[in-house]
Amino acid sequence: MHPTETAAVFTRVIGLISGTSVDGIDAALVEISGTELDLKVELLAGVTYPYPAELRERILAVGAGVAISMAELAEIDDAIAIVFAQAAQNIQIAHQPATLIGSHGQTVYHRPPADRAIGNQEENHSHSATPFSSRGCANDYAQDKLTASPLPSTDAINRISAHSPLGYSLQLGRGALIAYLTGITTVSNFRVADIAIGGHGAPLVPRVDAYLLSHPQEGRCIQNIGGIGNVAYIPPRHGDWLSKIRAWDTGPGNSLLDLAVEHLSAGAKTYDEDGNWAASGTPCHPLVEQWLNQDYFHLPPPKSTGRELFGVTYMHQCLKDAQAYQLNAADVLATLTELTAASIVHSYRTFLPSMPQRVLLCGGGSRNLYLKQRLQLLLTSIPVWTTDEVGLSADFKEAIAFAVLAYWRNLGIPGNLPTATGAPQEVLLGEIYQGQHNS
């Protein structure tokens, strides 16, 4: 080491998240140094811990809108916090202990701000909020005209009134209990601060993407495919690049596919491994074009959605629509896969200022080889990679991101990007619960 150099100071952090697919708790143990442009993250361990089957079923039921008592909600909240704490303890085995936990928790409900809530079936709007409205659709969904996404208004907070209520998002698995059970200071409830000032509280990962995955010459789309798909467009890293980042939920990721697989296999399967079942079928393109009529796909960003729209009811409507085309099970899955791919590409071509020079996939859907092939076909010459290929784990990127968000919260660094969430300003994200080991 040069005499004037100092060794980087690393903080060991655990990131925890379970996404809308509810397939388990992704835990990442990382070492973090730096702050923003000099941010460095090393993944020491990454593990997905499955939920106990009964707990998973209860979470899916709550997410689907099944009515439960407050006592039952409290039980589920505690149960999630306990298994999250167990994941945090287990991932540290054979490693030096962490000093901080960032826990996203388990989303069971998400409502966008009222003026952006077309994605909720329970809301009434001038355009139909049912799965398939009468809006016209371009003949070729892969060749829609490019239009620039409008910037969110800087006076958004002034428009909040009784007629334009704030969004709402509920994540279970309370951080206070995780901090107590592990003894480690825990940051949780990341979304509420952004929502409280008029933002969507989603997507929250783009600021992390910007500092870990940007490129000096190359515009990139970081496409997460969990239960819901979301994109972060990161322009080349020069000039006022941060203000040009765009991000939003693109629509269904794995949610409809997983629900359909479970239904079509009578519960024998919960997902289509590598997309093999779908790959044995043939997508029905007229049906995909019909599905792309849904209002959410035409709503300009910033926007967010969840299982409240792309859930069980939507999946059953898709299956009903497929009957008119006499599709077999494999064809249905191929067509739902095509909807995920086509909605992503439609979103890029409609709302990005320019197409990216590279797409980087992450999340569970990045392992779906058939979905990746369909995306590459629709994006023609734009390379479709995974974040693994540029040095960041595709499986654990979201968990890593919430470790970084907790680290930033601890340092007093804002975590949201107003151009992504629609909030009027940057804010600190997350509530801090002190652990016994850190006191």
What pLDDT was estimated at residue 87?
A: 98
Single-letter residue type at 121: Q
Alpha helices by DSSP H, listed for 19-165, are: 53-63, 70-91
Beta partners for residue 27, in sequence order: 16, 47
Helix, coil or strand: residue 350: helix
Please name the residues in contact with 66: beta carbons below 8 A apart, sequence gap of 6 or more: none
pLDDT at residue 21, rounded to an integer: 84
Helix axes 175-182 and 70-91, enclosed angle (nearest 10)? 40
Q: What is the mean pLDDT of each run of 10 residues along the chain (439 residues)?
A: 58 95 94 96 98 95 93 98 98 97 96 67 35 36 40 48 75 98 98 96 97 98 96 97 96 97 96 97 98 96 93 96 98 98 98 97 97 98 98 98 98 97 97 86
Helix (H) or strand (E) holding 93, with range, is none
Q: What is the structure's pLDDT at 420?
A: 95
Which DSSP category does 36 fall into? S
Q: Looking at residue 40, what is its pLDDT?
A: 97
- Residue 401's alpha-carbon distances to 209, 248, 347, 406, in angstroms, are 8, 16, 23, 9
Q: Are 116 and 303 in contact (CB under 8 A)?
A: yes
Alpha helices (H) in 28-174, listed in sequence order: 53-63, 70-91
What is the CB neighbour count within 10 angstroms for residue 419?
21
How confident is the model at residue 4, as a pLDDT?
45
Q: Rounded CA gap, 79 and 59, in Å? A: 10
Distance of CA 51 to the CA centre of its chain: 19
- At 178, is the secondary structure helix, strand, or coil? helix
d(CA 190, CA 212): 20
Q: Kindly list the structural domains of the chain, giving each domain's residue range(s) and its CATH number in brackets, ordered by start.
A: 1-113+166-201+396-439 (3.30.420.40), 141-150+216-391 (3.30.420.40)
Q: In the prediction, which pLDDT does 438 show? A: 67
pLDDT of residue 409: 98
